[in-house]
């Protein structure tokens, strides 16, 4: 099982002191929750009125809730200890489920003539997942950081740059993942960069 390298003694002591807070942050801002709030907001922003909420909820279902449900199902079967799936080598099936779920959602959105903004967001998340899957074969990049970064970046691209201060949330997620020992600083920074890159779909 691969884990983040041990921190120096002083940093490890500080991390242990803040573990309850880090645990609360990482649980509250897990991908399922961030996507539920973020994709709903994206749908509304893309449509310009309340009907976009339904497209956003579909996006949240496909990108966040279905994968979280799959993880919980595998946990019930005893395959994984918790949602973090700390063993990098066991993560590939999760990414494949995400790709299938997000792809299906995007097809439904296309057939239903969803607003371009939410459809492009789904495309960005799909491409991001391919990146996560590829990097995960050799290195434990942070999914939580990627999602937290992507949601803020996509809201800024679809709605307004005034969403960019939301990167304070992304920073909190990154801090919590390092403090809990799930990732290194490099892994959360790489995840954040990959999440921000989802906005490249809007340059076309």
194, HSE (Cβ side, Cα atoms, 13 Å): 25
* Positive or negative torsion for Cα 46, 159, 124, 94: negative
Q: What is the pLDDT of residue 45?
A: 93
Q: What is the pLDDT of residue 1?
A: 44
* pLDDT < 70 stretches in the chain: 1-15, 204
- In a domain, residue 92? The reply is yes
Domain count, the chain: 1
- In a domain, residue 151? The reply is yes
Helices (H), the chain: 9-17, 19-28, 31-47, 52-60, 66-76, 92-111, 116-136, 143-158, 167-179, 185-196
- In a domain, residue 197? The reply is yes
Dmax over Cα atoms in the chain, in whole Å? 55
- In a domain, residue 1? The reply is no
- In a domain, residue 81? The reply is yes
Give per-residue pLDDT as tens, 114-137. Answer: 999 999 999 999 999 999 999 999
Spatial distance between the Cα atoms of 181 and 11, rounded to a whole number of angstroms:
11
Q: Which residue has the tokens 């939580």?
A: 144
- In a domain, residue 2? The reply is no
Phi, psi (5° rounding) for residue 67? Answer: -60, -40
- Which domain, by its residues, includes 192? 21-203
139 C-beta neighbours (distance < 10 Å), count: 13
Give per-residue pLDDT as tens, 154-173. Answer: 999 999 999 999 999 999 99
- In a domain, residue 5? The reply is no
């Amino acid at each position: 099982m691969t884990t983040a390298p041990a921190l120096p003694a002083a940093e490890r002591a500080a991390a242990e002191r803040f573990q309850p807070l880090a645990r609360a942050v990482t649980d509250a801002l897990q991908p399922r929750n961030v996507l539920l709030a973020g994709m709903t907001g994206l749908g509304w922003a893309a449509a310009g009125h309340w009907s976009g909420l339904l497209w956003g909820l579909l996006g949240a279902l496909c990108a966040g809730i279905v994968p979280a449900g799959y993880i919980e199902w595998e946990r019930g079967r005893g395959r994984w200890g918790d949602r973090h799936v700390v063993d990098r080598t066991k993560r590939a099936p999760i990414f494949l489920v995400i790709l299938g779920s997000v792809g299906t959602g995007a097809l439904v959105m296309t057939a239903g003539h969803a607003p371009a903004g939410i459809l492009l967001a789904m495309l960005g998340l799909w491409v991001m997942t391919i990146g996560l899957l590829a990097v995960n074969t050799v290195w434990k990049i942070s999914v939580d950081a990627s999602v937290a970064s992507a949601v803020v970046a996509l809201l800024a691209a679809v709605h307004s740059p005034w969403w960019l201060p939301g990167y304070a949330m992304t920073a909190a997620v990154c801090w919590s993942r390092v403090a809990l020992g799930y990732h290194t600083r490099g892994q959360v920074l790489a995840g954040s960069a990959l999440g921000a890159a989802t906005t490249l779909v809007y340059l076309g």
